[in-house]
Amino acid sequence: MKIKVLTANLLWFLYSAVRTRIWRQASKNVGATQVKILKKLLSRNAETKFGQKYSFGTIDSVPAFQKTVPIQSYEDVKPFIDEIATGTKNVLTADSVQRFGVSSGSTSASKLVPYTASLVAEFQEGIDPWIHHMMRDHSQILGGKAYWSVTPIGERKRHSSGGIPIGFDDERAYFGRFTQWVLGTVMATPSELALIQDMDAFRYATLRFLLQEKSLSWVSIWNPTFATLFLSPLPKWFDQLIEDIRTGSMSVDLGVTPEVDALIRKSLKKSPRRASELEEIRDRKNGCLYEAIWPNLKLISCWAHGNSGEAVKQLRAYFPNVTIQPKGLIATEAFVSFPFRGEASALSINSHFFEFEEVEGKTIRLAHELEVNKRYSVIVTTSGGLYRYRLNDVVEVLGFEAQCPLIRFVCKQDKVVDICGEKLNEQFVSNVVKQVVSRVNHQPSFWMVAPERSSTQVVEYTLFVQFANGTPVEEGALQEVSREIDSALRENFHYDYCRRLGQLGGYRVFLIAPQQDANQVYLAVCTELGQRLGDIKSVALHPFQKWSQKFEGRFI
């Protein structure tokens, strides 16, 4: 088995090295590379409904494309996607839509993102150089297995009205066929774990498979809190897990169909020797427990920028000697950049056609026209049928590799709070709260939603509310408001996922004391946070996580 894993990793390294040469060649002339990608996309999709509307067949240059096609939001393309969902073909792409990815929306709870075979190939153009650089710089990982968390767990398979699958029931569907084969060989956990609905069962099963793999050498997750959440129950389950590894069993009900259960359990290993090693580690009184369990773990790839900084610190406490590699910028809609050097990720110039809008000046720049230390909003044109689509991600340019920009994700642009992957948009939250609170007899004089950290690992969104003149409102009514808001927010795909994982706790209400001027407190805190008084606006959703320490009052 070790030889098989090593062989698969070596083949992956060699294959990705060849693909990386293509990226390096393209980085010497980024302008020409990007124009070639755009012309190919326009030619291929000229006869689609969208292509005919914007006369793709007559566009012969980047300026003509920019003049003809306006910058798009999801709301702009939603009518076309709704048409695709009914089964209509040749709407945004000549390629057929194989499935819809799901992401969080702004005015709506979730949005559907069309996936074609060509879009998957574009994602692969970013994955290959990432894998090459990672394996080249951390060659020790070649001999070990990997753990990937790509798709949301516990997601029930759905279809659009036209029969198109919604979501990914196998995380390998993101990748090309060769990469799928490699992952099937080197993955430490079976992909069927993603079908487990119960979160405790999922955590137990994940730990069961990871503990049996002493050779685990690298991990790829999204939010760093994901790792700490499934590692934290280990002490209370350790004895049971050790016994399961000793006997080759798994002593929990996974709550899946018999067919899926059999597929999962088929990958279990019986190892009295490994069980004895784990007993010895369990009984030690010093040293790092998790690094002792996985002595060959060399790298963890995860979000490390934006709001993930605190969570990364927690992850480092678990693995103080393991390299934490910041992920590049990858959205459901597009593969923007891959980890390259330190804090910098390299623009995936062979994936899509990119444009960048200056955050301050609003001028549109192309990839080879960017300037170091400036910040830009990313706009993409992809084989998935998104043309001049604004991702609402802001990046900063840190430098260049040849002509290829090296960037770092800074923040979301569209008033999104994203502590652990929930991607809550202010407009969506505002719509939900207004609709629910309108059913309370007395309307609030002040309200705002903000995340509150109830522990180092769990965040709970809270409605901070005050009623005029201390108007009494029954606690039962406010508790019902809390439940209804949480239920409505869970229509948001990513919020619901974080709730099911346990990264987000239940929704709460904080009743602000009537004697306090909530608006004055709000202004004072925003000023403390660095805003100029004249620029402060009332918001429905605020990212500050310590409002309960600023307002007088109590949680209901």
Amino acid in position 272: P
Q: DSSP characters for 282-347? A: HH-SSS-HHHHH-TT--EEEE--SGGGHHHHHHHHHH-TTSEEEEP--B-SS-B-EEEEETTEEEE
Has residue 459 got a pLDDT over 60? yes
Looking at the chain, the whole-number percentage of residues with pLDDT higher than 90 is 55
Q: Classify residue 402 as left (phi > 0), alpha (psi -120 to 50) or beta.
A: left
Query: Which residue intervals of 140-233 are DSSP H helices?
Result: 177-186, 199-211, 224-231
Q: What is the pLDDT of residue 200?
A: 85
Q: What is the pLDDT of residue 149?
A: 78
Confidence of residue 533 (pLDDT cuts 50, 70, 90): low
Largest Cα–Cα distance in the chain? Answer: 73
In sequence order, the β-bridge partners of residue 115 are 99
**Cβ partners under 8 Å of residue 177, min gap 6:** none
Which residue pairs, CB below 8 angstroms and at least 24 apart, start in 1-4? Answer: 2/143, 2/215, 4/185
User: Tens digits of per-residue pLDDT, 88-138?
Assistant: 999 999 999 999 988 765 555 578 999 999 999 999 999 999 999 999 999
C-alpha distances (whole Å) from 285 to each of 72, 331, 502, 555 are 58, 42, 29, 40
Question: Which helix or strand (DSSP H or E) is residue 460 part of?
Answer: strand 459-467
Taking a C-beta distance cutoff of 8 angstroms, is the pair 474, 401 a contact? no
Has residue 507 got a pLDDT over 80? yes
Q: DSSP characters for 115-140? A: E-HHHHHHHHHHHHHHHHHHHHHTGG
Q: Are strands 337-341 and 218-220 parallel, antiparallel or unpaired?
A: unpaired
Confidence of residue 458 (pLDDT cuts 50, 70, 90): confident
Nearest to 117 by CA among 177, 45, 181, 163: 177
Cα–Cα distance between 66 and 363 in angstroms, integer?
12
User: Tens digits of per-residue pLDDT, 165-185?
Assistant: 887 755 566 677 788 888 888
Q: What phi, psi does 490 have (nearest 5°)? A: -75, -5
Selected residue with higher pLDDT from 46 and 474:
46
User: Tens digits of per-residue pLDDT, 213-263?
Assistant: 999 999 998 878 778 777 888 999 999 999 999 999 999 999 999 999 999
Q: What is the pLDDT of residue 378?
A: 96
Taking a C-beta distance cutoff of 8 angstroms, is the pair 237, 160 a contact? no
Q: Are strands 459-467 and 508-512 parallel, antiparallel or unpaired?
A: parallel
pTM: 0.78
Q: For residues 292-300, give the mean pLDDT.
A: 94
User: Tens digits of per-residue pLDDT, 297-314?
Assistant: 999 998 887 656 667 888
| Residue corresponding to tokens 């990871």 | 210
Q: For residues 452-461, give the mean pLDDT.
A: 82
C-alpha distances (whole Å) from 370 to each of 31, 293, 397 are 11, 45, 7
Has residue 412 got a pLDDT over 60? yes
**Cβ partners under 8 Å of residue 445, min gap 6:** 466, 467, 468, 518
Confidence of residue 413 (pLDDT cuts 50, 70, 90): confident
Query: Helix, strand, or coil here: 417?
Result: strand
Has residue 354 got a pLDDT over 60? yes
Q: What is the pLDDT of residue 415?
A: 76
